[in-house]
Amino acid sequence: MDRINNEKWLELIEADQLKREISKGNVLTGFTEGELNFYPTYKFDPGSDNYDSSKKQRIPAYCDRVLWREDESVTILSYKGHMELKVSDHKPVSAMLKFKLKDTSSSLDNVENIDKAQSEGLEITEEKRKQDINQDDDEKNKRQKMEDVENQIEDTPKEVEKEIEEVKTEEENEIKEEEAIDEPKKEDQTQTQTQKTNIEDTPQETKEIKQEVKLPPKNLNHTSNNNGTNLQKTKPKHGAPESPGGNMMTFFILGFVVVFLAYCWAFK
């Protein structure tokens, strides 16, 4: 702080990090700046001219700089910090530079050449403007074409989905029509199969009925006693014919059963 208070700028510059790195060629090669003959611009307590009084108490430094690439045509007129401004913890820095421009008058011999150059410049400018307009129109057309293509690409999946849906609907209608045509055929086949099943089952039913029918007893002798009536089967005598009444009754019952089953089967 003694160096700052005593304005020993050269001693401060010797400790400046940016100056050292530029002289070594490590950073900003080819750039230069004016002499630092003003107070360090960082860090101040906002709203005052006092350097940092917080707990950190940062060391004052030249953080705000103006540099330019070295050129003989550039001359620095002033380089200073504005200590009167107190709105920030930095003090702003300004530099005034003088630039030497190249003399282009030697390429123009007289006023006519100047007028000619100006007119040619205007013609070139007008033509350039027309070219820019045409180019803008071309770009607009290209963008419009691209938008049309993008819209077509976006609409394509919808059209494909619609076509697929139509195909599915047609297929479903065809399947329904085929089912409507095949339904009477299936009913006829079912009836035919039922009739075949009934025909196949009839002999079995007849056989079962035959097994259930018992033949009446033959040549029974009736004897009575005091305890009741006893039936006893006796063998016919040798040479005596069997009674035809029992056989006729059996055939009659069997015939009646067969006719009854046939009648029931026919009216199912």
Q: Is 3 in a helix, a strand, or coil? A: helix
Q: Which of 85, 95, 100 is nearest to 34 (CA)?
A: 95
**For residue 219, what pLDDT band results from cuts at 50, 70 and 90?**
very low
pLDDT for position 262 = 81
Residue 206 located in a structural domain: no
Per the model's pLDDT, the better-predicted residue between 205 and 65 turns out to be: 65
User: What is the residue range of 196's domain?
Assistant: 105-200
Whether residue 24 is contained in a domain is answered as yes
Of 102, 119, 147, the residue that ends a domain is: 102
Burial of 81: CB neighbours in 10 Å, binned 0-12, 13-18, 19+: buried
Residues 131, 77 share a domain: no
- As for how many domains the chain has, the answer is 3
Same domain, 177 and 231: no
Same domain flag for 96 and 7: yes
Residue 150 belongs to some domain of the structure? yes
Do 80 and 168 share a domain, yes or no? no
Q: Which residues pair with 201 in a beta bridge?
A: none
Query: How confident is the prediction for the chain on average, in pLDDT?
Result: 76
Domain end, chosen from 59, 81, 102, is at 102
Q: Are residues 93 and 132 in the same domain?
A: no
The pLDDT value recorded for residue 224 is: 42
Question: What is residue 120's predicted lDDT score, i.e. its pLDDT?
Answer: 62
Question: Are 75 and 115 members of one domain?
Answer: no
* pLDDT attached to residue 161: 76
Residue-level pLDDT at 39? 93
Residue 240 in any domain: the answer is no
Write out pLDDT tens, residues 149-205.
777 777 667 777 777 888 888 888 888 887 777 677 666 667 666 666 655 555 555
Same domain, 56 and 73: yes
Q: If DSSP codes are grouped into helix, strand and coil, which group holds residue 156?
A: helix
The pLDDT of residue 221 is 44
Decide if pLDDT at 142 tops 50. Answer: yes
For 39, other C-beta atoms within 10 Å of its C-beta total: 19
Q: What is the mean pLDDT of residues 130-148?
A: 80
pLDDT band at 37 (very low <50, low <70, confident <90, very high): very high
170 inside domain: yes
Over residues 54-72, mean pLDDT: 91
Tens-place pLDDT, residues 79-102: 999 999 988 999 999 999 998 887
Same domain for 13 and 98, yes or no, is yes
What is d(CA 130, CA 190) in angstroms, rounded to the nearest whole number? Answer: 88
Does any domain span residue 118? yes
Residue 207 covered by a domain: no
* Residues in CB range of 178: below 8 A, 6 or more apart: none
Percent of the chain having pLDDT more than 90?
A: 25
Claim to verify: residue 52 and residue 68 sit in the same structural domain: yes
Residues 77 and 133 in one domain: no
Question: What is the distance between the alpha carbons of residues 234 and 13, in angstroms, rounded to a whole number?
Answer: 159
Q: What's the pLDDT score for residue 22?
A: 92
Query: In this predicted model, which residue has the larger pLDDT, 58 or 118?
Result: 58
Task: Flag whether pLDDT at 223 surpasses 70.
Answer: no
Domain termination residue (choose one: 47, 74, 102): 102
Same domain, residue pair 8 and 84:
yes
**Any domain includes 88:** yes
Residues 230 and 141 in one domain: no
